[in-house]
Amino acid sequence: MKRVAVLGSTGSIGRQALEVIDRHPGLELVAASSGSQPIDGLAPLTQVGGNPAEVLEQAEPDVVLNAIVGFAGVTATLWTLEHGIDLALANKESLVAAGDLAVTARERGGGRLLPVDSEHSAVFQCLEGRDPETVHSVVLTASGGPFRGRNREELQDVTPEDALAHPTWSMGPKITVDSATLANKGLEVIEAHFLFGLPYDRVEVVIQPTSVVHSLVRFRDGAALAHLGYPDMRVPISYALTFPERAATEIEPLDLSAGLRLDFEPVDSDAFPLLGLARRAGEDGGTYPCAFNAANEVAVAAFLEGRLPFLGIAELVEETLDAADGSPARDLDELIAADDAARRLAHRGLAVA
Ligand SMILES: NC(=O)c1ccc[n+]([C@@H]2O[C@H](COP(=O)([O-])OP(=O)(O)OC[C@H]3O[C@@H](n4cnc5c(N)ncnc54)[C@H](OP(=O)(O)O)[C@@H]3O)[C@@H](O)[C@H]2O)c1
């Protein structure tokens, strides 16, 4: 029996994780958390809001699935890694904002960091058991979101409703908007840098509109391995929760006779500047990725509330990065201070927008 704690149990990933746990006799739900929705009785131990450390301490899980959305997931990521407990990580924002601290915490704790993001799960699987020396680069795929093919002018008047209509994945609102702006792919480039220890120029992004190719790894001999499957998050969730067993799921095998399309396109960086801004933040290092994430969270919330146009999201993030301090954070307190400072800059930018 593997004891599992699910943080963010009421969300899109959290609910799919509960389904996976329910159907697998070897997985036992020992604790669950949410941000504000009531979850009484969902698990033997539950917590709504606040720091999940106490409930995790009591539950003694073998694996923690962090499916909280946003910077709010940082504390749980660092706590789990420090304690040497396996971390199934959906909350990419925590690895973006706290990448350096997370890498150190994992080294100290000695647990495993298992990606749940479908692209990183794909890369993880393509890399499994291979000598890092043989790896040339990784290629993260992006669906391109609902606005693929549009130019800047055509993006001027798009609404939150348009942005929330994702063509291939059904997800929570924040990541769905991030997919429409390609900020999500930017977060994933930084996530890949920290997960796989690769420099940014060896993490590429390509558009693959059907989301069937989840990512690729290029090797030094010219070969590339790709991971294929239907876009269904229960597969990477199950893989991470049952690693290294790769348990059976109810997902249909890929039907290769049904006219699958595997086309690839380059990213239009003029229409979708957030990918480039994320790369810049990652390369600048320190707390720039934290500032990128904070400004993006503020901007996406404002866009969803109708206070900022779609193209204003990238503008606000760029202004915030230009004004941010970016010095490295030595501990969680300094990171929280950097996150706060970036949020204040972004709110100030919003007020004059
Ligand atoms: N959805 C996907 O397919 C997908 C794919 C790859 C990666 N991810 C990543 O997985 C994470 C979750 O995404 P999602 O789509 O599942 O989001 P979601 O549907 O919006 O769910 C978010 C979850 O986080 C909880 N939460 C929100 N604020 C919190 C706080 N301050 N403290 C503690 N818990 C809080 C929510 O609780 P309440 O319901 O009580 O607010 C909810 O359970 C994100 O980092 C996302 O980037 C998602």
Residue whose CB lies within 8 A of the most ligand 1 atoms, among 12, 117, 191, for a mutation test: 12
pLDDT tens by residue, 9-50: 999 999 999 999 999 999 999 999 999 999 999 999 999 999
Tell whether ligand 1 has an atom less than 6 A from the beta carbon of residue 72: yes
Q: With a 6 A CB cut-off, is 12 part of the ligand 1 pocket?
A: yes
- Which atom number of ligand 1 is nearest to the Cα of residue 36? 40
Bridge partners (DSSP) of residue 114 are 88
Q: Is 77 in the pocket of ligand 1 (CB under 6 A)?
A: no
Mutation probe of ligand 1 site: the residue of 9, 20, 54, 69 with most atoms within 8 A of C-beta: 69
**Has residue 352 got a pLDDT over 90?**
no
Helix (H, G, I), strand (E, B) or coil at 68: coil
The whole-number average pLDDT for the span 198-208 is 98
30, 103, 226 from 195: Cα distances, Å: 27, 8, 18
Cβ-based neighbours of 325, under 8 Å, separated by 6 or more: 287, 338, 341
Ligand 1 centroid – CA 224 distance (Å): 32
Q: Which atom of ligand 1 is nearest to the CA of 175?
A: 47
67 alpha carbon – ligand 1 mean position (Å): 5
Ligand 1, atom nearest to 173 Cα: 20
219 - beta bridge partners?
Answer: 135
Using one digit for the tens of pLDDT, what is the confidence trace for 38-92?
A: 999 999 999 999 999 999 999 999 999 999 999 999 999 999 999 999 999 999 9
Nearest to 323 by CA among 308, 352, 98, 306: 352
User: What does the pLDDT read at residue 101?
Assistant: 98
Burial of 62 (0-12, 13-18, 19+ CB in 10 A): middle
Residues 6 or more apart whose CB falls under 8 angstroms from that of 274 comprise: 181, 182, 183, 186, 296, 313, 314, 317
Task: Confirm or reject: Cβ of 175 under 6 Å from ligand 1.
Answer: yes
Mutate to test the pocket of ligand 1, among 13, 232, 238 (most ligand atoms within 8 A of CB): 13
CB of 120 shorter than 6 A to ligand 1: no
Residue 292, phi then psi, degrees to nearest 5: -60, -50
CA distance 45 to 260: 44
| 69 closest CA partner among 170, 161, 165, 176 | 176
Q: Which of 348, 233, 252 is nearest to 295 (CA)?
A: 348
Residues 6+ apart with CB under 8 A from 352: none
Q: Which atom of ligand 1 is nearest to the CA of 92?
A: 45
Q: Render pLDDT for 166-183 as a digit per residue (tens, 0 to 9).
A: 999 899 999 999 999 999
Ligand 1 atom with the shortest distance to the CA of 171 = 1
Q: How far is the CA of 10 from the centre of ligand 1 (A)?
A: 8
Read off the pLDDT of each residue in 119-145 and give the average, rounded to a whole number. 98
Inter-residue contact 84 to 109 (CB < 8 Å): yes
Which helix (H) or strand (E) segment holds residue 252: the answer is none
- What's the angle, vertex CA 23, arms to CA 72 and CA 240, rounded to 5? 45
CA distances to 28, 122, 249 from 233, rounded to whole Å, are 19, 12, 11
Instruction: Determine contact, residues 191/281, Cβ cutoff 8 Å.
Output: no
Q: For ligand 1, is residue 35 a contact (CB within 6 Å)?
A: yes
Tokens of 353: 């927008």
Provide the token pair at 228.
């294929």
